[in-house]
Amino acid sequence: MTLEDEVARGVGGMGLTDAGEREGGGAAPSVAGDREMVANSKYSGRVFIKSILGRPDGGVGLIGQKVTVGGWVKTGRVMGKTASAFLEVNDGSWIGNLQVLVDATVATERQLTLTGTSVLVQGKLVEPPEDKKQKVELLVETILHVGTVNAAKYPIAKTKLSLESLRSQLHLRARTNTISAVARIRHALAVATHTFFDRNGFMWVHTPIITTSDCEGAGEMFQVTTLFSETERRDREYAANPPPSQAEVEAAQDVVAEAAEVVKELKAQKKNKKELEPSVQALMKAKEHAAHLEARASLKPGMPRKEGGEVDFGADFFARQAFLTVSGQLQVETYACALSNVYTFGPTFRAENSHTTRHLAEFWMIEPEIAFADLQDDMNCAEDYVRFMCQWLLDHCLEDMKFISSMYDKTAVDRLKLVASTPFVRITYTEAIEILEKVTEKKFENKVEWGIDLASEHERYLTEEIYKKPVIVYNYPKDIKAFYMRLNDDEKTVAAMDVLVPKVGELVGGSQREERQDVLERRLKEMNLPMEPYEWYIDLRRHGTVKHAGFGLGFERMILFATGLENIRDVIPFPRYPGKAEL
């Protein structure tokens, strides 16, 4: 019997297992008599491997139960003369693999053992031999599905692959232990984010991805436009059907003039309506034809432009310049000024031609905004949020964190414990500069002096060498910060703060917002920003202004901090950076 026949034979056995009603992966197990039953996935009728191996007893309490398990073969081999297949299967729900034994009487095909093969099997959980690491394995009774692999072409080999090489296999890299662990950590941090803000009375607001405002004033924005496609379409039409010559236009205008003269003469002769109608119709057709030629004669190839030569964005889809957002902060402030505590969590974009390990063209930001709050409230919220996420990973994702720690950064778990349990240091920007200026044991690449924007080397030195814990630096010079940050009484600094953490440097950037209309308008002028795009933002100060504060946390930077991985491209499912936008 072929493998295909065996699979077909087994399909009829699919359905509810002895576990009873299908439940979600996190559902409480049912009980039959004195025996605890493992819960099925509600929507696929199978048991998640996490439900077996993630138990405190490693699955021992489930021995003897019949279950259906699906996943991908991490490694496999045919054992001895019996031709039984021994597989290690993973379904992505847990860092560990389930040991699966397929006896030769069930399937004899060696295809099962190839790395990457997908299987859906039904069998009984049994106790493995004493020399096995796991406490339970699955003895297969029925094969329900096999997704075969071309071993000669499958790029995810058993041997360890570099994270850099995996970036060329974005569609398959999630099958590796590292990327799947990062995905689960990322998911846990997203759940932690929504949990933290929900528990503290914040509302999630979906701010626009397409915007006409440059929040940071840096100008490094991706433009959203249909002008290129429209121009290409017009250019094709222009080439296929060139516009009429001036002589053709003038000839059409002469026809209009002649037709008009005929109508004029007939009216002078006092002809009735019926007698006039053919000539009037001829005049109308001549006018329509002439107008069409005149319009086409004015067409020019290339972008629509104004008289001065600049691109006419009035002809664009939104009738003005539009961009992919670099931040949802300005928009979410509108809801803070109506609903009090809000936050946004979504993708942001930066057209910065950078190839460093800390930059992406597309990344995710969490940006809370708190009404009736000042800088101290802002720092308190940021510190609580970061510490909450660290504790959440320790409570809900410890196995993945231990794996990442063992593979990449031995200090990762300890770092989470430190941050979760230790109050952050708070110093002013001026104090930070004074501290760094006194450093003699290290030569910084970037000169330290008041007025500079702290570089990553400065930030990490403060957190890793001096304080050995997270540091919040506040009251930055106004000239290196955005226009919307509240000007302090000294007229030199603004009420801004950054949360600096070991390994990464800046993790959070925030400020108390400038609620005074006159000061905000002055700051816009000082930074040579146009008023018109920000009129609606100024309106928030004209109508019922309140003090408010907020911050932004780069989600990928938080994952870098948690995992200790070196490159930000490895902590986002589909990285976009200069020259790369695959899938």
Residues ≥6 apart with Cβ < 8 Å to 483 = 217, 514, 520, 523, 524, 526, 527, 529
Residue type, 163: L
Residue ending a domain, choose from 147, 168, 202:
147
What confidence score (pLDDT) does residue 416 get?
A: 97
Sheet holding 223-224, edge to edge: 210-211, 322-324, 223-224
DSSP 285-350: HHHHHHHHHHHHHT--SSS-B-TTSSB-GGGSTTSS-EEE-S-SHHHHHHHHHHHSEEEEEEEEE-
Domain identity same for 218 and 231: no
With contact defined as beta carbons under 8 Å apart, do 448 and 436 qualify?
Answer: yes
Radius of gyration of the chain (CA): 34
Domain identity same for 483 and 341: yes
In a domain, 333, yes or no: yes
Taking only the tens place, the pLDDT of each residue in 401-459 is 999 999 999 999 999 999 999 999 999 999 999 999 999 999 999 999 999 999 999 99
Residue type, 264: K
In a domain, 161, yes or no: no
Domain identity same for 533 and 420: yes
Q: Domain range spanning residue 386?
A: 179-223+322-570
What confidence score (pLDDT) does residue 369 get?
A: 98
Residue 545 tokens, joined: 């202004």
Taking only the tens place, the pLDDT of each residue in 235-290 is 888 888 888 989 999 999 999 999 999 999 999 998 898 889 999 999 999 999 99
> What is the rounded distance in angstroms from the CA atom of residue 395 to the CA atom of residue 26?
15
What confidence score (pLDDT) does residue 92 get?
A: 97
Q: How far separated are the first and last CA of the chain, in Å rounded? A: 40
Domain identity same for 538 and 548: yes
The pTM (predicted TM-score) of the whole model is: 0.86
Domain identity same for 234 and 367: no
Residue ending a domain, choose from 282, 315, 348:
315
The backbone torsions φ and ψ at residue 122, rounded to the nearest 5 degrees and listed phi first, read -120, 135
- Which helix (H) or strand (E) segment is 457 a member of? helix 456-461
With contact defined as beta carbons under 8 Å apart, do 157 and 115 qualify?
Answer: yes
Residue ending a domain, choose from 315, 340, 358:
315
Domain identity same for 235 and 269: yes
Domain identity same for 185 and 143: no
> What is the rounded distance in angstroms from the CA atom of residue 427 to the CA atom of residue 172?
45
Q: What is the largest CA-CA distance in the chain?
A: 118
> What secondary structure letter does DSSP report for 249?
H
Residue 180 Cα to chain centre, angstroms: 16
Domain identity same for 309 and 386: no
Domain identity same for 435 and 562: yes
Residue 250 tokens, joined: 């003038």
Domain identity same for 230 and 337: no
Averaged pLDDT, groups of 10, the chain, 583 residues long = 45 36 43 66 93 94 96 90 85 96 83 93 93 87 94 85 93 96 98 98 97 70 92 84 89 94 91 90 94 84 86 91 93 96 97 90 97 98 98 98 97 96 97 97 95 96 96 97 96 98 95 97 93 92 96 97 96 95 88
Domain identity same for 342 and 468: yes
What confidence score (pLDDT) does residue 393 get?
A: 98
Number of domains in the chain: 3
> What secondary structure letter does DSSP report for 394?
H
